[in-house]
Structure 1
């Protein structure tokens, strides 16, 4: 897979830069003058230091057909062209290109310099140096080559440049890739390069550290607030961090240089991820769900495209690159237009978003102009974009913090309003209660006058009778109720079972009995205590009440951990299905005691009286009990139907 053009993330400024390029003819005169020369100007290597190569030092030749280095060295001067830009840059090319340089050592001593190519987004790079002795030095680097196999294994592409005293040497560099054929070249003294490269990495690490700190801070806010704005801000910051690590060559140098897939695709995926996460962050930060309309529609288009584009990149589809360049322009301008529109409508968050986005565009402008050849390669054009990203994320982080304070103040104001309303409601309720009390007092006085006409003795007798009836009713209820589970007790079960058997024989309708016995209930009492056992019994009783709801049925505690269910007008098959539902629900009981869950299960025995058969209560209970013990002996946690009926 070929790498995506590096200008994809910067394309939104293309229209603006076209105008700038017309109005800002940097180095035009120099380009015309150099174009008239048939050969590149000689690069004079003198005392140790830094020498930056300019377009005047280079000539290029597009490789329309495969050429060897010797064939290129032998090309006539007229077959070479001069770069007509402020940098050594011939724009995006499908063909490979050869660049030629002429270097001379002006010193009377041998020198050993380094040639640095500070552009890590080229797929294939071949370096040739033809020395005066006839020796040809050849090195091959690029994204297609294992990053750890490059010369000096650096974030830039480095080539040795030895020169004898007074020696002149020709250098060829063949480059190929789908990105801009852009060659920021520097000749270094080795010690000076090592020192400068260390400083460069330090500044990059400071910028990456700032992005990482803001990402982690807002990720922690998401953990506490569950606000998706902080979540997508963190993903956006992460995608920018990955993009910059890849764009600067640090990723290939320190992280994934061993993987060709990563070298060719991480940068592409980070661009898709940056646009996708940035669009999702804008969606929730600006509240586009609330506004709807064209604002949400534009954002949905960008989210869908970048998600699909990232998936296609993972699948190895490269045809989407051309559309992605246009879509990047659409995405940036859609976000800017949306935020400015919402700012005008009073959205405070949109104001901060517009300012942050504009800051990124301003700082990125220098990098885009450098890539288009309108500005030279310098500190501003090299570091402008990462400065813009850090400034953007810092401003957005401030905006999120401001939103926290704003929402907190809004909540406090809402709470104050609610408290005031509650106070008014309480006052109104108190006035109403006082009025009701006055009315009640008046009614009491009236009733008292009426009650005086009734005999005091009659009142006392009626009161005594009422209390006696209530006591008898409560006593009767308690006499047939199990106090622990509030189910019917054994005594009431016996009465109902006998009555239901008689009704079954009289009406010739079936009757079924289900006996439920909790498995290992003694272990629950032994391991967790009798209070836990009581809780288990209550939960089982509640489960039975939930499942057996017909008014003609009866649930009773038979004794200990045993329960019985009388199912009127129910066959054995239907009773078995009821038993299975009871068993499955008991398994689901979630009882936590002492910090741990108490597992529960039950064994069930089912017996029934078919139409035309006669059974006594003891026979029916015995049949169900036998089935229950068969379930116990068969491994528990199952339902068993009695094998025979007694006629």
Structure 2
């Protein structure tokens, strides 16, 4: 023991030259300078034997990385006054795994706390939101405090020195303020829970759960949960910020689904369902990762959710949805408070937790905005329900009056109807006969080509489907012949369109004269092109008919008054037993290809498709 005491005092005097001077009227020093070293020693003797290399931290704030698992702090203090000074050394971070302080007392060094295998809250000599080490600084002496910190996660280590009375004033002021704010948030939780029990509106339940998660996040961030709720649960102390931040952010999803996003927006509703399920998976999965990895992932995901919420609020603003401005302000506050917290985690900002009221204020405003929006939604729903009831009542009264008037008119009309029913029946029969005649005329017009009076293309499309089905059903050969007047464009160019129309009519009439069977039909396919539909006709028969038409046409000299001319035509034939009734166009397509071959081979000829 004497060896340890001697070693301790040697260390004290070795570093007394750089000690922090504590004046007689000392109140506080928020950024206490110290030095640190990474060393796995379990006591001062091992530390001295390892010849540590101390690195100064003049700012009093050390950012810990995941590699700094065991570090020693050296805090030299000097009291030049004639009085013993009571002090409190504050390490304002309750997420550290283990803190052991070596304090000089009665010419010996003691370990605070005595057991290194207990939880963090049991290691502190004073039960408080921060880690406090009480000191009695002797008069006219130099004192060196050694602190061993074990840490498995990436966090921060702020060191400050206080007079006990000044620290009591400081914490009392903030505890009163934060207690009032926490009480207001908790009151809103209870209000939403009561509204849900009265109205059974699910958005009050989701709003209450969201505000409750916000309350848990704030009491965790400011250390009140560590002091009053779950101080013995180290795992929740380390992962509480990650889990409660995720919970307070993704609980907005069911709230949005029941308030801001209409049920008709199916895609957005489906996307929110996926986000909700993904959030649950992430919340469970992050608890399996180290805290240094889980917290950045949680921040990134919460930022993504906040941006998504803002986009939904902007879309609601564009369609002038109810309370859209409130929700947009709410999510802007959420994004701002997440950015504020992230800045401290990234060491862009620093300071004691109690000196960060912006987080509490923003979350209080978010809770107020949620409660306000839900209250307005309930009032709007109630007013809409009253209006609907009044509208239904007025509609029922109007329907009753209308029903009475209708019964009266119906009785009067019944008498008139009975007196005129015979006359109306006769008129109806006449009208029906006229309609039948008109229908026949329209059907004929619909079937016939207006110029040539043969069947038109529309009727051909129907007939070819019927004949293809018959060919497939009866296994008979169907022949389709495509005919086209040769050099018809020259007729139009040389003699005019009137002579061209007369030529088309003459060709159509000649083709009709060559058809002997009732089942054989000619159709005008378009322009100067005609098509023959020949059921139950082999290729040879179709070819003979086409050759006869072609030969007779080439021998006739037509006299159209202003012009005398002769014409020729080319024909393409396709004959087959239909195998696919769903593809009737194959007959016209292949016959048209054969016609194209006839044109290519010099016109005025008949070609069968092979």
* Same fold? TM cut 0.5: yes
Q: CA 1:410/1:89 → structure 2, altered by over 3 Å: closer, same or farther?
A: farther
Q: Which runs of 5+ in 2 are unaligned?
A: 1-14, 420-610
Contact 1:246/1:267, CA 8 A, preserved across alignment: yes
- After TM superposition, list the pairs within 5 Å mapping 1:65-214 onto structure 2: 68-72=43-47, 79-82=54-57, 88-96=61-69, 97-129=71-103, 133=107, 135-139=109-113, 145=119, 147-148=121-122, 150-214=124-188
Q: Distance in 1 between matches of 2:224 and 2:56?
A: 33
For the residue of structure 1 that corresponds to 2:74, the secondary structure is: strand
Query: Greater shift after overlay, 68-77 or 296-305?
Result: 68-77
C-alpha contact (below 8 Å) 2:103/2:146 kept by paired residues: yes
- Cα deviation digits, residues 83-132 of structure 1 (max 9, x gap): 7xx76031543422333322111321111211122222222222233579
CA contact (8 A) 1:91 1:372 kept: no
Following TM superposition, by how much is the alpha carbon of 1:302 offset from its aligned partner in structure 2, in angstroms? Answer: 3.2
Q: Quick check: 277-286 or 137-146, which moved more?
A: 137-146
Given that 1:114 and 1:161 are in contact with CA atoms closer than 8 Å, whether structure 2 keeps it comes out as: yes
Is 1:345 the counterpart of 2:298? The answer is no
1:43 has 2:20 as partner: yes
Between stretches 129-138 and 160-169, larger displacement belongs to: 129-138
What SS does structure 2 have at the residue aligned with 1:287? coil
Q: Which has the larger radius of gyration?
A: 2
- Asked whether the equivalents of residues 130 and 136 of structure 1 are also in contact (C-alpha less than 8 Å), the reply is yes
CA distance in 2, matches of 1:347, 1:151: 56
Matches within 5 A, 1:263-412: 263=237, 266=240, 268-287=242-261, 289-293=263-267, 295-312=268-285, 323-363=297-337, 365-377=339-351, 381-412=355-386
Instruction: Tell me the SS of whatever aligns to 1:158.
Output: strand
Contact between 2:220 and 2:226, CA under 8 Å: does it hold in 1?
yes
SS at match of 2:88: strand
C-alpha distance in 1 between matches for 2:34 and 2:330: 39
Whole-Å separation in 2 of the counterparts to 1:137 and 1:67: 11
* Deviation at residue 291 of structure 1 after TM alignment: 1.9
CA shift, 1:394, in A, is: 0.6
Alignment of 1:511-550 (within 5 A): none
> How many aligned residue pairs are there?
403
Out of 409, 427, 432, the residue aligned to residue 435 of structure 1 is 409
Q: Distance in 1 between matches of 2:155 and 2:96?
A: 8
Q: Is 1:250 the equivalent of 2:224?
A: yes
Shifted more, 169-178 versus 310-319: the winner is: 310-319
1:341 shift after superposition: 2.9
Q: 1:71 to 1:120 in 2, by over 3 A?
A: same
**Conserved in 2, the CA contact under 8 Å of 1:180 and 1:371?**
no
**What TM-score does the superposition give when structure 2 sets the normalisation length?**
0.57
Deviations along 1:586-636, one digit per CA (max 9) or x if unpaired, are: xxxxxxxxxxxxxxxxxxxxxxxxxxxxxxxxxxxxxxxxxxxxxxxxxxx
Conservation of the 8 A alpha-carbon contact between 1:108 and 1:165: yes
Structure 1 unaligned segments of length 5 or more: list them.
Answer: 1-37, 446-647
Gap change, CA 1:131 and 1:147, over 3 Å in 2: closer
Which whole-Å CA distance do the structure 1 matches of 2:27 and 2:168 have between them? 12
Q: Write the distance in 1 (CA, Å) between the matches of 2:175 and 2:313.
A: 35
- Distance in 1 of aligned mates of 2:398 and 2:343: 65
Cα deviation for residue 417 of structure 1 reads 3.9
**Greater mean deviation of Cα atoms: 382-391 or 137-146:** 137-146
Query: Which has the higher relative contact order, 1 or 2, with Cα contacts under 8 A spaced 6 or more apart?
Result: 1
Kindly tell me: are residues 317 and 184 of structure 1, through their superposed partners in 2, closer, same or farther at Cα, counting changes over 3 Å?
closer
| Superposition TM-score, scaled by structure 1 size | 0.54
Per-residue deviation, 1:443 = 11
